[in-house]
Amino acid sequence: MASSKLRKSGPSDDDNCTLDMSPMIDMVFLLLMFFLVNATVIVVKQDPNVTPPVAVNSRKAEDGNGRIVVNVYKDGKFTNEAKQPLDNEDAITDLVKEEKQKIDLLGYKPKLHLRGDKEAVFKYSRQVIRAAAKGGVDQVVFAVYVTAK
């Protein structure tokens, strides 16, 4: 008698036990949208006229925030990330000071992203580093091609 009551109280064979997945799918899309909106994409525009050197012991920088990009050409000319010419060290210092103020407001540590041509003499890069130091930026990231070790 007890076993027949237990059988009747449980689900019958012809009942369909299905799980409604629509709330789960909605939650996945909401999480996806949340992460897309909160993600920041950091893109450093590369000048095709600057060919960085190859470095075997280089490593990819994890943090791309707070970069102030200066391109150094093999003839000793300088440009910023938007390919606007920088005529002398004072122009570079002004650029660094202006960009440093913007980066400080965002809460990042400013870094000089130096993209020097492999044919350029190092004294041009030294000029940019000196101008950035005058502008208050003391960290330098050298752009190079990464090779397999």
Band (pLDDT 50/70/90 cuts) for residue 28 is very high
Task: Give the domain extent around 99.
Answer: 54-146
Mean pLDDT (whole number) for 20-40: 85
Summary mean pLDDT of the chain:
81
CA 101 to chain CA mean position, Å? 19
Summarize pLDDT for 89-143 with one digit per residue, the tens.
888 889 999 999 988 898 888 998 888 888 888 888 888 899 999 989 888 888 8
The single-letter code of the amino acid at 25 is I
Would you state the structure tokens that stand for residue 108, as one six-digit string?
């990042």
First to last CA, the chain: 77
Residue 15 lies in a domain: no
Is residue 78 one of the residues assigned to a domain? yes
27 domain-assigned? no
Q: Does position 148 have pLDDT exceeding 70, yes or no?
A: no
Tens-digit pLDDT profile for residues 32-44: 988 888 776 666 6
Residue 41: its pLDDT value, please? 65
Counted domains in the chain: 1
Whether residue 135 lies inside any domain: the answer is yes
Among 54, 106, 50, which residue's Cα sits nearest to residue 80?
50
* CATH number of the domain encompassing residue 124: 3.30.420.270
Does 37 reside within a domain? no
Token pair for 13:
């064979």
pLDDT at 44: 64
- Give pLDDT, residue 83: 80
CB neighbourhood size of 24 (10 A): 10
Rounded to two decimals, the pTM is 0.65
Report whether pLDDT(46) > 70: yes
105 assigned to some structural domain: yes
Residue 13 has what pLDDT?
Answer: 58
Percent share of the chain, pLDDT over 90: 7
